[in-house]
Amino acid sequence: MPGKSLPSHSPSPEQAESLNRLIQKAECPLLVTHVAPDGDAIGSLLGLGWLLRALGKDMIMACQDPMPYVYDWLPGSSEIVQRTSQSHDLVISLDCSDRRRMGDVGAGTLASLPVINIDHHVTNTKFGTLNWVDPSSAATAQMILNLAATLGWELPDHVAVCLLTGLVTDTRCFRTPNVDQAALAAALRLVACGASLSQITQRVLEQRPLASLRLWGQAIEGLQLQDDILWTEVTRSMRQRWSLGEDGDSGLTNFLSGVREAEIVVVFTERDNGTIDVGMRASPGQDVAQVALRLGGGGHPQAAGCTIEGSLSAAKEQVLSELHRSLSID
């Protein structure tokens, strides 16, 4: 049953006391981020993981899906597991808009444990025992930075690198509408703590393997434009052709969002387990978050996603029909 929620801004010491009490009481917390993880998911997971380890916690960091290759250089990335059989006394959900986005990690134990829900998505369903949901934050990583500052936790350079990666990727290098003075100030604090903005942007936004670009080329060749909705697909056979894993299309949806003729961009990605990941981007004035929420996902008005069971053709029909019905496209 959902519990109390913290106010939607950086927590004051009094407001953060409930968070601090649960964290200090826990000995073996399980930190979980969402399926199909992005940079904010991985960055906030690693950042908080390192902070809790410094407090002496025997924490486990988990994500149901494999970590995208663009983040495998981050400190502690090799410690993220996809399954856990260890006993835990607390679950901390990071960047998940609802419980389903956590996947099956520790599913058998979640019902009996307190859950701290830390997220910045406007579609968050407040599923935690304690919910700190702040849609005014540009990234969950920014919230972790604010929490560390409020509770007086030291911020070493390896933590700063993880958190700045989350902030950079979720804002597309500070270009999204939710970037404000607070987000830029957070970035300056993280750089002052030792994170390199140039290194992060180069590694996660600029560098791509040649095989990924070839996959992108095949997906771009298959682009369809219907009533200002631009969409394409990435199938398993396409990834196999270029010997790529499930993260081979990483960054494609953001890249396509720059197409001038499109109000909405959708990329359908066929996963190895038979599900379809749907990534959506929207121009200002459009809102794909509510569409994603109705389809079992979530996100932001201009960037959202969901995972759909069933065939690729059925997923395309369902999502495109929902977009045409729900969005006001001129």
pLDDT in tens, 289-307: 999 999 999 999 999 999 9
Q: Tokens for 227?
A: 């009533």
Q: Would strands 130-133 and 303-308 be described as parallel, antiparallel, or unpaired? A: unpaired
Q: 7 versus 213: which is more confidently predicted?
A: 213
Residues 6+ apart with CB under 8 A from 247: 66, 67, 68, 69, 70
| Same topology between domain 17-203 and domain 211-326 | no
CA-based torsion, 259, 262, 264, 265: positive or negative: negative
Q: Is the pLDDT of residue 329 over 50?
A: no
| DSSP class per residue in 17-57 | HHHHHHHHH-SSEEEEE-SS--HHHHHHHHHHHHHHHHTT-
Q: Is the pLDDT of residue 246 over 90?
A: no
Cβ atoms of 253 and 281 closer than 8 Å: yes
Cβ atoms of 32 and 49 closer than 8 Å: no
Q: 126 versus 85: which is more confidently predicted?
A: 126
Q: pLDDT for 262-294, tens place per residue?
A: 999 999 999 988 899 999 999 988 899 999 999
Q: pLDDT for 39-88, tens place per residue?
A: 999 999 999 999 999 999 999 999 999 989 899 999 999 999 998 888 99
Q: Within 10 Å of residue 205's Cβ, how many Cβ atoms?
A: 16
Where does the pLDDT of residue 16 fall: very low under 50, low under 70, confident under 90, or very high at 90 and above?
Answer: confident
Q: Which helix (H) or strand (E) holds 102?
A: none
* Angle subtended by helix axes 157-170 and 140-151, to nearest 10: 150
Q: What is the DSSP letter of 67?
A: P
Cβ atoms of 169 and 143 closer than 8 Å: no
Q: Which helix (H) or strand (E) holds 118?
A: strand 115-119
Q: What's the Cα-to-Cα distance from 157 to each of 76, 98, 281, rounded to whole Å?
A: 13, 31, 32
Q: Give the residue-averaged pLDDT of 97-112.
A: 80
Q: What ranges in the chain are assigned the alpha helix state H?
A: 17-25, 39-54, 107-110, 140-151, 157-170, 181-192, 197-201, 210-221, 236-241, 252-256, 289-294, 312-326
The ranges assigned to domains in the chain are 17-203, 211-326
Average pLDDT, the chain: 91
Q: Is the pLDDT of residue 110 over 80?
A: no
Where does the pLDDT of residue 1 fall: very low under 50, low under 70, confident under 90, or very high at 90 and above?
Answer: very low
Where does the pLDDT of residue 8 fall: very low under 50, low under 70, confident under 90, or very high at 90 and above?
Answer: very low
From the candidate CATH numbers 3.40.30.10, 3.40.50.300, 3.90.1640.10, 3.30.450.90, the one assigned to the domain spanning 17-203 = 3.90.1640.10
Q: Is the pLDDT of residue 214 over 80?
A: yes
pTM to 2 decimals?
A: 0.89
Query: So what CATH class is 211-326?
Result: alpha beta
Q: Of all residues in the chain, what percent are helix, strand and coil, respectively (each to 5)?
A: 40, 15, 45
Cβ atoms of 40 and 176 closer than 8 Å: no
Largest CA distance in the chain: 56
